[in-house]
Amino acid sequence: MSTDLSTTAADAPRRADWRFLCSHPAHWLALGAGSGLSPVAPGTVGTLWAWLAFIVFDLWLTERQWAWVLAAALPVGCWACTVTARNLGTSDPGQVVWDEVIAFWLVLWVLMPAGFGMQLAAFVLFRWLDAAKPGPVGWADRLIQPRGGRIGWREGWGILIDDLVAAGCTLLMLALFVALRRPL
């Protein structure tokens, strides 16, 4: 599997499978360790995987270590999303779920410790914002539209940005909900 920069979005798009997933470390990361291969709602399955992975990793990672993981996951994820999109021949493949993973990890990192109900509310709200793309999420999604031609770093960041905005909106809406429930 080539990661040649001359690969273009005009190349015949393909669908990822387990062989594709295992052919390059970027594919494994971008496809959320296989969660993006789900034939139904890969973004939702990727977010569920992110939730489970966060709960498991949180047993060993401190808040500061999570900050470093998240800081490293953005540029590494951009690289993985770019390579995977290029190799799939489309600028924003639905099977790429790293954007959901990193964004939901960010939500949980800020939110925790939170009970199951609040985590579930964050999950539902984040998925709705990511899928429906209202307001600022839709703006962010349109901000870095594919130009056609070569799939590059711009498209890699474009894959990530709307989910990061959805994460920010999720946190803002949950904070407002909690603030409005408190007596003055």
pTM: 0.87
Q: Residue 91: CB partners within 8 Å, gap ≥ 6? A: 9, 85, 146, 151, 155, 158
Task: Say if residue 98 is exposed, middle or buried (CB neighbours under 10 Å; 0-12, 13-18, 19+).
Answer: buried
The CA distance from 133 to 66, in Å, is: 27
Residue-wise pLDDT tens digits, 54-80: 999 999 999 999 999 999 999 999 999
Residue-wise pLDDT tens digits, 77-105: 999 999 998 898 887 888 999 999 999 99
Q: Residue 17: CB partners within 8 Å, gap ≥ 6? A: 37
